[in-house]
């Protein structure tokens, strides 16, 4: 291709826009499966968590797991989706070795909830993404391929899922990722899902099409299946948008199909033609009654929803004047958010001293999270094993009041994380307290003056650079424990005296 052609193509690509709709499958954190009493646990010995119902043996009858319904309704309410008081289960028929019944119990024409929305923010721009529906279904089993052989593990068969289908309202890979993160945050915060993309408990299919800007009609879409990280979702969608634009510009046609993302090569590849709903021969599940929910139940579930991350971010910004970055980091993990809020409570009630909230936020973001990362691999410490709020707050106070300096604070923090000891005990045991006592420091400084009389004369006669040298000497003598502010003060006074 010559340069001219390339530029034309490049310009032409700007006249397209992308359209993206996402289907998310999220496992529910129930104790048991959706239609039988088998345990819902990940990572057990293959085929050890199965029974006649989830194996699809003849005559076995499903029973609705009410905890699964409760979590699905909770998810729908947290996502502003209308609850349908009457919904139906349906059979979605297809053949696959991980689906012993030959059909999946799902919801089709009458889902448990429909018509909602999620507000997302991408690069500072807010946007409302409509949600078409959230319905309940069961997961399939898993195929494991080892060498040239394939095995079936049915532990996952029958695990409760919600499928959340967005309208095609996103127009970039970044927006898709914002939507997914927001959605996952909400489900994890509310204890509905563990949101683990690698283990597959939170999965996403991305539907992508492109059209010329200004066109009303949607282009033909490709569906990219089960991409297992946010990074890959972004890359897969970006690749797919580029592929479709290139194909159209070179005179080709997009076909509706299912594609797989290959993260090694960063490409999507055709997997199969896209099946249509009628291929599944949906019909109402004859073994289950309609699902009827009453107002009282819905109200009760609504009241069990705790503050959503979005609202926390807004509140932190409004009440504590934190930056949007701070709010983002603090609310990414609900444990961190609640931990931070607990620290603020401790700050409010304790009578030893008050710390600015911005400083508390900095300690959590820059020091605690950093320290947790640093020792993640140490066997003594599991991630999320945070110090008692009181202890951490006391550590902050030790530094803020000048009893130890910031660097020593970091050392104490690591020690706290590893041993669970209280900051005051660590400081005492390791003799880490700053030397702030004036008499003591004066003595040390005088001694240093004696040992460095030439430098002292130079400093007095105006070689100001040597001031730092003396501060350094004091630090050396006190093994870094001298309170730097005090040292500066005393040194300054001495030098002034000597100059006069
Ligand atoms: P299925 O994929 O199971 O057939 P749907 O027809 O409900 O299910 O659509 C699935 C997803 O595809 C929805 O999230 C929807 O927003 C999205 N979608 C539909 N048409 C397009 C399109 N032309 N471009 C991008 N996304 C689309
Ligand atoms: Mg689909
Ligand atoms: Zn079972």
**Position in ligand 1 atom list of the atom nearest CA 23:** 14
Do 394 and 464 belong together in one domain? no
pLDDT recorded at residue 7: 55
Q: Which of 300, 328, 352 is where one domain is finished? A: 300
Distance (Å, rounded) from C-alpha 319 to C-alpha 344? 12
Do 81 and 175 belong together in one domain? yes
Protein residue with least CA distance to atom 3, ligand 1: 277
Q: Is 131 part of any domain?
A: yes
Strand 267-273 relative to strand 283-284, pairing: unpaired
Distance (Å, rounded) from C-alpha 70 to C-alpha 191? 12
With CA atoms as reference, report the closest residue to 136 among 167, 104, 166: 104
With CA atoms as reference, report the closest residue to 368 among 426, 420, 416: 416
Q: Does the beta carbon of 221 lie inside 6 Å of ligand 1?
A: yes
Ligand with smallest separation from the Cα of 241: 1
pLDDT recorded at residue 291: 98
Distance (Å, rounded) from C-alpha 366 to C-alpha 387? 15
For residue 491, what is the domain's CATH number? 1.10.10.410
Do 388 and 442 belong together in one domain? no
Ligand with smallest separation from the Cα of 25: 2
Q: Does the beta carbon of 68 lie inside 6 Å of ligand 1?
A: no
Range of the domain at 80: 9-300
pLDDT recorded at residue 333: 85
Do 447 and 489 belong together in one domain? yes
Distance (Å, rounded) from C-alpha 227 to C-alpha 267? 12
Q: Which of 391, 409, 429 is where one domain is finished? A: 429
Distance (Å, rounded) from C-alpha 79 to C-alpha 134? 9
- For residue 454, how many other CB atoms are within 10 A of its CB? 8
pLDDT recorded at residue 13: 76
pLDDT recorded at residue 430: 83
Overall pTM surpassing 0.85 (yes/no): no
pLDDT recorded at residue 209: 97
* Token digits of residue 102: 């030959």
In a structure prediction context, what are the per-residue pLDDT tens digits for the chain, which is 500 residues long?
455 555 555 567 789 999 999 999 999 999 999 999 999 999 899 999 999 999 999 999 999 999 999 999 999 999 999 999 999 999 999 999 999 999 999 999 999 999 999 999 999 899 999 999 999 999 999 999 999 999 999 999 999 999 999 999 999 999 999 999 999 999 999 999 999 998 899 999 999 999 999 999 999 999 999 898 999 999 999 999 999 999 999 999 999 999 999 999 999 999 877 777 778 999 999 999 999 999 999 999 999 999 999 999 999 999 999 999 999 999 988 889 999 999 999 999 988 889 999 999 999 999 998 888 776 555 555 545 788 999 999 999 999 988 888 888 998 998 998 888 999 999 888 887 777 778 888 889 999 999 998 999 999 888 888 999 999 999 888 877 788 888 898 999 988 888 77
Q: Which of 300, 333, 364 is where one domain is finished? A: 300
With CA atoms as reference, report the closest residue to 228 among 186, 200, 268: 200
Do 419 and 458 belong together in one domain? no
Distance (Å, rounded) from C-alpha 113 to C-alpha 84? 5
Distance (Å, rounded) from C-alpha 408 to C-alpha 398? 10
Output the DSSP codes for 339-388.
HHHHHHHHHHH-SS----HHHHHHIIIIIIHHHHHHTTT-TT--TT-PPP
Do 141 and 219 belong together in one domain? yes
Do 326 and 373 belong together in one domain? yes
pLDDT recorded at residue 1: 46
Q: Is 3 part of any domain?
A: no
Distance from Cα 123 to the centre of ligand 1, integer Å: 25
Do 371 and 471 belong together in one domain? no
pLDDT recorded at residue 244: 97
Q: Is 50 part of any domain?
A: yes
Protein residue with least CA distance to atom 17, ligand 1: 21
Do 458 and 323 belong together in one domain? no
With CA atoms as reference, report the closest residue to 395 among 411, 371, 377: 411
Do 124 and 207 belong together in one domain? yes
Q: Is 4 part of any domain?
A: no
**What are the CA-CA distances from residue 117 to residues 202, 254, 352 (Å)?**
19, 29, 46
Do 113 and 195 belong together in one domain? yes
Q: Is 1 part of any domain?
A: no
Q: Does the beta carbon of 160 lie inside 6 Å of ligand 1?
A: no
- Structural domain total, the chain: 3
pLDDT recorded at residue 357: 95
pLDDT recorded at residue 211: 96
DSSP-assigned beta bridge partners for residue 157: none
Do 494 and 382 belong together in one domain? no
Task: Give me the sign of the Cα torsion angle 261, 143, 60, 34.
Answer: negative
Q: Is 363 part of any domain?
A: yes
Q: Is 246 part of any domain?
A: yes
Q: Is 371 part of any domain?
A: yes
Residue in 108, 130, 165, 282 to alter for ligand 1 test, most ligand atoms within 8 A of Cβ: 165
Look up tokens 């993160």; give the residue: 181
């Amino acid at each position: 291709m010559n340069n001219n052609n390339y530029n034309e193509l490049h310009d032409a690509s700007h006249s397209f826009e992308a359209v993206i709709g996402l289907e998310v499958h999220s496992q529910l954190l129930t104790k048991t499966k959706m239609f039988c009493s088998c345990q819902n646990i990940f990572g057990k010995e293959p085929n050890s968590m199965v029974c006649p119902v989830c194996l699809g043996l003849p005559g076995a009858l499903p029973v609705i797991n009410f905890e699964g319904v409760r979590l699905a309704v909770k998810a729908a309410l947290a996502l502003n989706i209308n609850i349908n008081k009457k919904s139906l289960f349906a059979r979605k028929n297809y053949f696959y070795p991980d689906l012993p019944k030959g059909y999946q119990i799902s919801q089709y024409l009458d889902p448990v909830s429909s018509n909602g929305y999620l507000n997302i923010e991408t690069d500072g721009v807010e946007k409302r993404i409509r949600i078409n529906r959230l319905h309940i279904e069961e997961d399939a089993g898993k195929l494991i391929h080892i060498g040239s052989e394939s095995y079936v593990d049915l532990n996952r068969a029958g695990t409760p899922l919600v499928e959340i289908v967005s309208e095609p309202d996103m127009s970039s890979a970044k927006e898709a990722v914002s939507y997914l993160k927001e959605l996952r945050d909400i489900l994890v915060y509310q204890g509905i899902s563990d949101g683990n993309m690698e283990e597959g408990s939170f999965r996403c299919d991305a539907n992508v099409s492109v059209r010329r800007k200004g066109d009303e009609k949607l282009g033909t879409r490709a569906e990219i299946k089960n991409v297992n990280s946010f990074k890959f979702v972004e890359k897969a969608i970006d690749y797919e948008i580029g592929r479709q634009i290139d194909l159209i510009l070179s005179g080709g046609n997009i076909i509706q199909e299912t594609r797989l993302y290959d993260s090694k090569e960063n490409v999507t590849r055709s997997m199969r033609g896209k099946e249509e709903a009628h291929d599944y021969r949906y019909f109402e599940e004859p073994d289950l009654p309609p699902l009827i929910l009453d107002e009282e139940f819905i109200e009760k579930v609504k009241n069990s929803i705790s503050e959503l991350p979005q609202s926390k971010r807004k509140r932190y910004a409004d009440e504590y004047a934190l930056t949007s970055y701070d709010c983002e980091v603090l609310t990414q993990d609900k444990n961190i958010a609640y931990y931070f809020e607990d620290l603020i409570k401790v700050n409010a009630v304790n009578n030893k001293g008050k710390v600015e909230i911005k400083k508390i936020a900095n300690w959590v973001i820059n020091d605690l999270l950093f320290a947790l990362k640093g020792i993640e691999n140490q066997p003594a410490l599991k991630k999320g094993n945070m110090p008692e709020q009181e202890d951490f707050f006391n550590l902050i106070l030790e530094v803020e009041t000048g009893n130890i300096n910031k660097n020593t604070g970091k050392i104490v923090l690591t020690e706290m994380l590893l041993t669970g000891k209280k900051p005051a005990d660590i400081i005492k045991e390791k003799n880490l307290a700053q030397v702030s006592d004036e008499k003591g420091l004066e003595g040390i400084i005088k001694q240093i003056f004696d040992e460095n009389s030439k430098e002292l004369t130079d400093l007095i006669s105006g070689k100001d650079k040597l001031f730092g040298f003396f501060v350094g000497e004091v630090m050396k003598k006190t093994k870094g424990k001298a309170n730097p502010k005090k040292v500066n003060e005393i040194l300054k006074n001495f030098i002034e005296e000597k100059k006069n």
